[in-house]
Amino acid sequence: MKPAPGAIKEMEILGESFYSRPAAEVAPDLLGKFLVHGPAAGQIVETEAYLGLDDLAAHACRGVTPRTRVLFGRPGRAYVYLVYGMYECLNLVAEPEGTPGCVLIRALEPISGIDEMRRRRPGAKSLEDLAAGPGKLTLAMGITRRHNGRDLTKGALTVRQWESGESFEIEITPRIGIRLCRELPLRFCVAGNRFVSRRSLAERART
DNA sequence: CAATAGATCATCT
DNA sequence: GATGATCTATTGC
C-alpha cells in the first residue's frame, strides 16, 4: 500500500533525535522512510552505515578535514560529496554531535515527482532504474553538493515516516564498492525489493 | 550475460 | 600524483 502523492507532505519529519544514535542502528531504521525534496519523493530501500575512526572505509576515519567536518557535527544534516569525479552521494549524519558517523542512501523507490526524476535521468530505461544506486538517486532527486551540511529536519529536503507502511524483512550484507573493511555487515536493504541497486556478479562472488 | 574501459575531479599524501 | 562509498557504453563470449 503506497501513500497517495499528496499524503507525503503530511507525514511526520524525522527529528534530530532519530539520527542521534549509532549509525549502524539508524541505517536499518531508515528503510521504508521517505526522502522528500520538494515535489520529488522516494521510499528508501537500501542504506549503508559508515562509522568513525575504526572504519577504514569511512571518510571520517582520518579525522576532521575540511570535507569531513560535517560528519563530526550535528546529526540530521546532509553530507554530500563527489565520487569518481562525476557523481554525488547523499549521506545522513548520525551519532551525537562530536562523534562521526553517517548513513549512505543507496537506493529509492520513486513515489512522486516521477516525471521530474525522469527528466533529470534521461538515461534511465525503467522505473526500477531511476534511483537504484547512490549516484542515480542524487541525480533523480536533484540533490547536489549545494545540500552539503543542510539541516534535514526542516526545509525542502527532509526524511519522513508513514505509520501506514507495510512491514518488511531486512536483508543485511557487506557494503558495496569499497576496498577496506569489506566484510563488515553494514549494508541494509528491504528484502526482495525491485528497486535495490544491482551488484555486479564479481562483487557478489567476492563475499 | 559478463567483463572492462573511460569519464572526470575533489581530496589528501 | 594517486585514489576513489559510480555509472554507462562497449566489447567479447
Give me A106's grid cell.
543507496
Cβ contact A111:A8 at 8 Å: yes
Cβ contact A171:A189 at 8 Å: yes
For residues A91-97, average pLDDT: 98
**pLDDT of res. A22:** 98
C-alpha dihedral over A3, A19, A37, A149, to 10 degrees? Answer: 180
Q: Beta strand A40-50 with A170-173: parallel, antiparallel or unpaired?
A: unpaired
Sort A54 into a burial class: Cβ within 10 Å, 0-12 / 13-18 / 19+. exposed
**pLDDT of res. A206:** 59
Res. A166 pLDDT band, cuts 50 70 90? confident
Residue A12 CB partners (closer than 8 Å, separation 6+):
A160, A161
Percentages of chain A per state (helix, strand, coil), in multiples of 5: 25, 30, 45
pLDDT at A199 over 90: no
| Nucleotides of strand B lying closer than 7 angstroms to a protein CB | 1-4, 7-13
Query: Model-level pTM?
Result: 0.95
For residue A28, count other CB atoms closer than 10 A to its CB: 19
Work out the percent of chain A whose per-residue pLDDT is above 70: 96
Whose cell is 536533484? That residue is: A142
DSSP A80-135: EEEETTTEEEEEEE-SSTTS--EEEEEEEEEEE-HHHHHHH-TT--SGGGSSBSHH
pLDDT digits (tens, 9 = 90+) for A182-192: 999 999 999 99
**pLDDT of res. A164:** 81
**pLDDT of res. A204:** 62
- Report the nucleotide nearest the CA of residue A205, measured to C1': B2
pLDDT digits (tens, 9 = 90+) for A95-114: 999 999 999 999 999 999 99
Give me A47's grid cell.
542504506
**pLDDT of res. A198:** 81
Q: What are the residues with a C-beta under 7 Å from any atom of nucleic chain C? A: A 48, 50, 57-60, 79, 82-87, 89, 91, 102, 104, 121, 123-124, 129, 133-137, 175-179, 197
Cβ contact A157:A80 at 8 Å: no
Residue A18 CB partners (closer than 8 Å, separation 6+):
A26, A29, A76
- Report the nucleotide nearest the CA of residue A200, measured to C1': B2
Residue A34 CB partners (closer than 8 Å, separation 6+):
A3, A8, A11, A41, A42, A43, A44, A111, A159, A160, A161, A162
